[in-house]
């Protein structure tokens, strides 16, 4: 769902300079959360916009939103002042944090022509996945702020309702996906996301919509799985593609994904990336959010 910022809110936000944030370990400090909330709560129509955002992310059948911050990005540029406002919106959903101790709170996802094309910052098709899939406590929300789209026009963002895709599978496939038989990737020096989970079940015991559909289609190529388990995972990947929606992020668009509901991916960037200067290539900034116990946002 697309969420526009009312013009009177945009005008007030352009005038409002939020202070720099502070971290408490890998999490946004409570003092910053409170300060940003208090500052933003006094701007016109902020509360209703934040409530609309939370509702889009948690309502039945919902689970992602694109908050359109393009006018703010245009007025403020995309450095600190703008990032503080985006952090303020994120903090209305859940607690911003960085699982990567050596990265800043907002992590650059640029374009690297020599990287594995199917992975983060590669140029190829990035298949449906959840972020931090092999952690016992993945972030409830992953968020991507678009600084620059692909100047050549590629890189559509992809989203798919994971519980809905699972519901279309046969009972036999679902039973295979519930077995602790899947693994993916490495796990090194990550904070705030629990332990490495290996092997893991794609579906856990809890009701659909409560747990995660702990899946990445990248495991089909990069992990060795038994035949029956691989077949069930391939069926799920196909159902995710069948149900996918796509959107082209514009400068300043802020995509927020509830990882208990939706998986995400990205179409390939357009061919010819090597002809584009690194500083002109597509650039997203990624931020993860942790839903606090009992605040309702973990639903």
In the complex, the residues that contact Fe ion under the rule CB under 5 A are 131
58-117 residues in contact with ligand AKG (CB under 6 A) are 109
If the CB atoms of residues 36 and 197 are measured against ligand AKG, the closer one turns out to be 197
Of 131, 140, 235, 239, the one binding ligand AKG (CB under 6 A) is 131
If the CB atoms of residues 112 and 183 are measured against ligand AKG, the closer one turns out to be 112
The residue at minimum Cβ distance from ligand AKG is 120
Q: How far is the CB of 126 from Fe ion (least distance, A)?
A: 7
Of 214, 229, 260, 264, the one binding ligand AKG (CB under 6 A) is 264
135-174 residues in contact with ligand AKG (CB under 6 A) are 144, 157
Cis-peptide into 199, omega within 30 deg: yes
If the CB atoms of residues 56 and 255 are measured against ligand AKG, the closer one turns out to be 255
Would you count residue 126 as binding ligand AKG (CB under 6 A)?
A: yes
Q: How far is the CB of 142 from ligand AKG (least distance, A)?
A: 7
Tell which residue, 277, 266, 66, has the closest CA to residue 155: 266
If the CB atoms of residues 131 and 239 are measured against Fe ion, the closer one turns out to be 131
Residues in binding contact with ligand AKG, number by CB under 6 A: 9
199-258 residues in contact with ligand AKG (CB under 6 A) are none
Number of neighbours of residue 2 by Cβ within 10 angstroms: 10
Whole-number Å distance between alpha carbons of 92 and 126:
29
Q: How far is the CB of 170 from ligand AKG (least distance, A)?
A: 29
- Binding residues vs ligand AKG (CB under 6 A): 109, 120, 126, 131, 144, 157, 264, 266, 284
């Amino acid at each position: 769902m697309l969420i526009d910022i009312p013009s009177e809110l945009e005008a007030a936000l352009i005038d409002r300079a939020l202070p720099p944030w502070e971290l408490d370990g890998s999490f946004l400090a409570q003092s910053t959360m409170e300060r940003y909330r208090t500052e933003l709560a006094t701007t016109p129509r902020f509360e209703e916009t934040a409530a609309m955002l939370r509702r889009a992310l948690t309502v039945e059948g919902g689970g992602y939103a694109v908050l359109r911050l393009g006018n703010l990005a245009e007025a403020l540029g995309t450095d600190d002042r703008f990032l503080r406002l985006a952090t303020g919106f994120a903090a209305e959903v859940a607690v911003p944090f960085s699982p990567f101790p050596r990265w800043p709170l907002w992590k650059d996802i640029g374009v690297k022509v020599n990287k594995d094309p199917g992975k983060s910052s590669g140029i190829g098709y990035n298949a449906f996945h959840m972020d931090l899939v092999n952690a016992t406590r993945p972030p409830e929300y992953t968020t991507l702020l678009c600084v620059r789209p692909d100047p050549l026009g590629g890189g559509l963002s992809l989203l798919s309702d994971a519980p809905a895709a699972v519901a279309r599978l046969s009972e036999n496939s679902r039973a295979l996906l519930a077995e602790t038989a899947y693994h993916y990737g490495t796990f090194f020096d990550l904070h705030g996301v629990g332990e490495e989970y290996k092997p893991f079940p794609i579906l856990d015991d809890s009701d659909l919509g409560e747990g995660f559909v702990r899946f990445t289609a990248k495991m089909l190529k990069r992990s060795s799985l038994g035949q029956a388990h691989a077949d069930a995972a391939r069926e799920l990947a196909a159902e995710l593609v069948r149900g996918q929606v796509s959107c082209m992020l514009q400068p300043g668009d802020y995509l927020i994904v509830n990882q208990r509901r939706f998986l995400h991916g990205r179409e390939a960037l357009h061919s010819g990336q090597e002809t584009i200067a690194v500083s002109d290539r597509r650039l997203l900034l990624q931020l993860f959010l942790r839903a606090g116990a009992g605040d309702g946002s973990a639903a």
